[in-house]
Amino acid sequence: MFKKGVLRELFDGLFGKSWPMWVGGILLALLNILLFVIKYPWGGSGGYISIGQNLFQSLGATNIGTKIPINLHTVALLNIFIVLGAFISSLFSKEFSIKVAPIGELVKGLIGGALMGIGATVGIGCTIGGFFSGVPALSGGALFLSLGFMLGTIVALKYLLWEMEALPKISMGKSCTLLPGTGKKTSWQRWLGWILIAVILFIFSNYTGKGTALSKILGWHVFLGLIFGIILQRSRYCIVRAFREPFMTGESSAPVAIIISILVVLIGFTVLKYFGVGNAGETAVRAIEMKSVYANFWLRALLGGFIFGLGMTLAGG
């Protein structure tokens, strides 16, 4: 048995203060390698495309590609449970509150998000699938996508600096914070977190209990989504920062964290491909080499990356 209080201390240690970004980076890199063993490397935008297809089809749109239901789509499930995992993590660390930004910032968020959606579709990939998985998979397209991210970030950052001088009102105005996590009467946050963990574990066991290969894979995406979300929230692992800080503050902790994690993923992916482990083992060697190597080699990748880079810096977060 643990001495009384040891588990509590561990919990407070994990959720009391934020983790260095490089710690998050290495953990995410290991999980990305695990995802490659289970199915495909980590991706993000594919899940949003699936959610969009389902949404628009339910609204009556046709001719929008082959639709897979969200509950059978690995990336869509992963996305949803990453958001839930990060939510639980913010409840546990008592950082959760609903912050409503000034109206100008909300509009910028909307425009930035739309640009990210367009960019990810044009370039096939976002900062996750196209960069965090694409670069270590040695995709040529991913290199052009990354170059596009960098150019888009520089332009959007120039815009933000200009906006501050010329239109300072955009980032001023009414804002409010609801349900702050600090102060009195916050124990409900941790209870809600535990209830959500129980619900997610129930969904996980429901998937894996079905016994088919696909349901097991889907179940593990539910569980890993939870872990991804917690790591992302605690370490504030942010790829946008790695692209932005060199041009903004010159601070290097984010770029260093991202470079370390890319190296870990590179080694892991290369080993998996070389030995044909896991999902990669199902295909011929030539096909393995092509896994996660995108067809949009240069112009579309560069353009998509540029649009995405504009959007991600404008939207912030």
Partner 1 sequence: MQVDQTLDCKGLSCPMPIIKLAKTIKKMNSGEVLEMIGTDPGSKTDVPAWCEKTGNIFMEQTEDGGAFKFYIKKK
Per CB under 8 A, residues contacting partner 1 are 18, 95, 97, 99-102, 105, 157, 160-161, 164, 171-172, 175-177, 180-183, 236, 238, 241, 244, 248-251, 253, 313, 316-317
Q: How far is the CB of 185 from partner 1 (least distance, A)?
A: 11
Q: How far is the CB of 173 from partner 1 (least distance, A)?
A: 8
**Residue 316, amino acid:** G
Q: How far is the CB of 158 from partner 1 (least distance, A)?
A: 11
Q: How far is the CB of 236 from partner 1 (least distance, A)?
A: 6
Residue 100 or 259 having the CB closest to partner 1? 100
Residue 102 or 140 having the CB closest to partner 1? 102
Q: How far apart are the first and last CA of the chain?
A: 42
Residue 138 or 256 having the CB closest to partner 1? 256
Q: How far is the CB of 17 from partner 1 (least distance, A)?
A: 9
Phi-psi region of 183 (alpha: psi -120 to 50; beta: other; left: phi over 0): left
Spatial contact of 156 and 315, defined as CB atoms under 8 Å apart: no
Phi-psi region of 184 (alpha: psi -120 to 50; beta: other; left: phi over 0): beta
Is the dihedral angle over the CA atoms 89, 93, 97, 100 positive or is it negative? negative
Residue 90 or 279 having the CB closest to partner 1? 90
Q: How far is the CB of 22 from partner 1 (least distance, A)?
A: 13
Residue 15 or 223 having the CB closest to partner 1? 15
Residue 39 or 236 having the CB closest to partner 1? 236
Cβ count within 10 A of residue 252: 12
Q: How far is the CB of 255 from partner 1 (least distance, A)?
A: 13
Sole residue written with tokens 């912050």: 99
Report how far residue 168's alpha carbon sits from residue 187's, in angstroms, rounded to the nearest whole number.
Answer: 39
Residue 196 or 248 having the CB closest to partner 1? 248
Q: How far is the CB of 139 from partner 1 (least distance, A)?
A: 28
**Radius of gyration over alpha carbons of the chain, in Å?**
20
Residue 181 or 276 having the CB closest to partner 1? 181
Q: How far is the CB of 21 from partner 1 (least distance, A)?
A: 9
Report how far residue 21's alpha carbon sits from residue 28's, in angstroms, rounded to the nearest whole number.
Answer: 10
Residue 151 or 170 having the CB closest to partner 1? 170
Report how far residue 168's alpha carbon sits from residue 161's, in angstroms, rounded to the nearest whole number.
Answer: 10
